[in-house]
Amino acid sequence: MHSLYLTYDEDAEGGEVCEGEEDSSWPSYEPTYKYVTFLKFYRRKPKDRFFYERVEIDKELFHKEELYLAWITYADGDTFSTTYGNTYIVGAYATRGEAKDAVDEALNNTKGYKPWEGFFSKYDDYHIEKLEVLCY
């Protein structure tokens, strides 16, 4: 196995204390909405990027110029709030078809941890996007 570094930008809005609960010991919060934009893969760890994720890949994909990134978005929270737009990276693949197969496997696999399944969690959608792979 080899690794690539996936760079991204992230922003969020919301999450404020609900109106009228500012003085409550256990206030509820407005929903938080996260926005993630995946940028590029790099073969080396980026030095000038704060947000990056290491993604394990098969070694034959390491020198490709483009790969398909597959990820799942979901909501999660607790008794007092919910955050939408959480991401789970499924992986990087040579073709859109391989990426879709991996998403289907992740969604239908009966074993292992799935962050979108839980008392406060909820699956939203899956996404597949073609990204450049750069040397850096």
End-to-end CA distance of the chain: 20
pLDDT score, position 110:
79
**Rounded Cα gap, residues 17 and 92, in angstroms:** 38
The residue with tokens 């969690």 is 121
Phi, psi torsion values for 76, nearest 5 degrees: -150, 165
pLDDT score, position 3:
95
Q: How far is CA 24 from CA 16, 79, 82, in A?
A: 13, 14, 18
- 65 contacts 109 by C-beta, under 8 angstroms: no
pTM for the full predicted model: 0.91
Structure tokens at 1: 């196995």
**Rounded Cα gap, residues 50 and 107, in angstroms:** 29
Summarize pLDDT for 10-26 with one digit per residue, the tens: 999 999 999 999 999 99
pLDDT score, position 136:
65
pLDDT score, position 120:
95
Summarize pLDDT for 74-128 with one digit per residue, the tens: 999 999 999 999 999 999 999 999 999 999 999 998 788 899 999 999 999 999 9
**Rounded Cα gap, residues 23 and 9, in angstroms:** 34
